[in-house]
Structure 1
Amino acid sequence: MTSDVQTRRRGEALQQAIFEAVFEQLGKVGYGRLTMEGVAAAARTGKAALYRRWPDKNALIVDALRAAMPSTADVPSSGELRADILALLMRMRDALESSYGATFQVLKAEPGPGASLVHAAVRDRVFAPYRRLVADALRAGVERGEVRPEVTATEESTVLAANVGPAMLIHRHFLEGPDLPDDFVIAVVDGVVLPMLRPR
């Protein structure tokens, strides 16, 4: 039966099974004891199928984390600053509260490589596209008179402004628990981010 499954699953179906196995194994044995062999067995495939795509378990875990998190890259622009910033922060919240939140906690709890993998995945999948989109929103806001010109005067000032909202979400998520209700995200936007950006 196993060989039959191996021969029939290809492409995205096999990849999804492998990623599910990664999260299952992380929950069962943790980062330190996770092996490519264990993931292959849990996914009911051969080790060769894993090594053809990923050189080691770290590369596999990062890809699995990235696939699990919703990206901010496809959040459309509304043409209004508050709506754009709120939509981006809501999507970031969704990424932090992804269905594999328990797995993120397992990795973060293990010092060293495990936590580093989470940080790399969140940075590449969420923060990098968020910064690009929020920079565009801020520049458009300056043109509409919604944002003070000095906010986007330099690349450094733009990045600092873009980091405020995410920093508050991450602080709450990591230190106070994974629950980030809509009311909290809205309060961050209306009570902190927008007052910081608007013309005085």
Structure 2
Amino acid sequence: MTPATRRRGGDLEAAIFDAVFAQLERVGYRRLTMEGVASEARTGKAALYRRWKSKDELIGDALKHVLPEPPTAPRTGAVREDMLAILGCTRETLLACRGAAFTILKEESEAGKGLVHDVVHERLSRPVRELLHQALVEAAERGEIRPEAATRQIANVGPAVIVYNHLIGGGPLTEAYVESVVDEVLMPIVRP
């Protein structure tokens, strides 16, 4: 039997972050504990408490580790393609963090605010909504959509549909699903 090797640095951090998402999937945000994460990562609680004061700090860092950088404007010249690219970022993020980001937001607190909320808002929610709004404004200027459809309210629809579908367990989050949101929900709303 080979003795266990002690993990340090990046290897230990990766195991801890993976354990965070495994625990979130298994027990949810409210029942996640530092002890459960330590056990899942096969490390001691002390290793966690040396770096993170609370589970929120730990979850926040785990999300920062897996969340992609905020998306940039695709500017393809076609509103449908822009929306597909931007909403693809939402899909990639849900897949990268195993959907934990939005599940946590649902459970995090009565007001839905906290460290995790701030991380998700700054890295994903706000940039996606802003880019979608910008894409709609540019499409309206090109005459591709109705000018009155270039609103923040309509920009919120795509991400809301995707997140809602994820939260209610509406099936796999495939590229085809994102395409259906664009083609069956957003395009009919904005077309002239």
TM-score > 0.5 by shorter chain: yes
Residue 82 of structure 2 corresponds to 84
Query: 1:181 & 1:42 partners in 2: Cα distance?
Result: 29
- 5+ residue gaps, structure 1, are 153-157
Aligned counterpart in structure 2 of residue 185 of structure 1, from 170, 178, 183: 178
Matches within 5 A, 1:129-148: 129-148=127-146
Residue 5 of structure 1 corresponds to 6
Residue 172 of structure 1 corresponds to 165
Please give the secondary structure, in 2, of the residue aligned with 1:5: coil
Query: 2:86 & 2:125 partners in 1: Cα distance?
Result: 10
| Deviation by residue 1:62-87 (Cα, 9 ceiling, x = unmatched) | 33234334455146332321111011
Contact 2:17 2:62 in 1 (8 A): yes
1:58 shift after superposition? 1.6
Q: Considering only aligned residues, what root-mean-square deviation do their CA atoms show, in Å?
A: 3.6
Residue 163 of structure 1 corresponds to 156
Query: 1:178 & 1:147 partners in 2: Cα distance?
Result: 30
Contact 2:73 2:86 in 1 (8 A): yes
- Quick one: structure 1 residues 143 and 114, their matched pair in 2 at CA, closer, same or farther if it must change by over 3 Å? same
TM-score of the aligned structures, taking structure 2 as reference length: 0.72
Query: 2:132 & 2:103 partners in 1: Cα distance?
Result: 30
- 5+ residue gaps, structure 2, are none
Amino acid at match of 1:191: E
TM-score of the aligned structures, taking structure 1 as reference length: 0.70
Contact 1:88 1:130 in 2 (8 A): yes
Amino acid at match of 2:6: V
Range that drifts further, 134-143 or 21-30: 21-30
Please give the secondary structure, in 2, of the residue aligned with 1:92: helix
1:131 shift after superposition? 1.2
- Quick one: structure 1 residues 173 and 45, their matched pair in 2 at CA, closer, same or farther if it must change by over 3 Å? closer
1:25 shift after superposition? 3.7
- Quick one: structure 1 residues 178 and 128, their matched pair in 2 at CA, closer, same or farther if it must change by over 3 Å? farther
Q: Percent identity at matched positions? A: 44
Contact 1:108 1:115 in 2 (8 A): no
- Quick one: structure 1 residues 119 and 41, their matched pair in 2 at CA, closer, same or farther if it must change by over 3 Å? closer
- Quick one: structure 1 residues 196 and 83, their matched pair in 2 at CA, closer, same or farther if it must change by over 3 Å? same
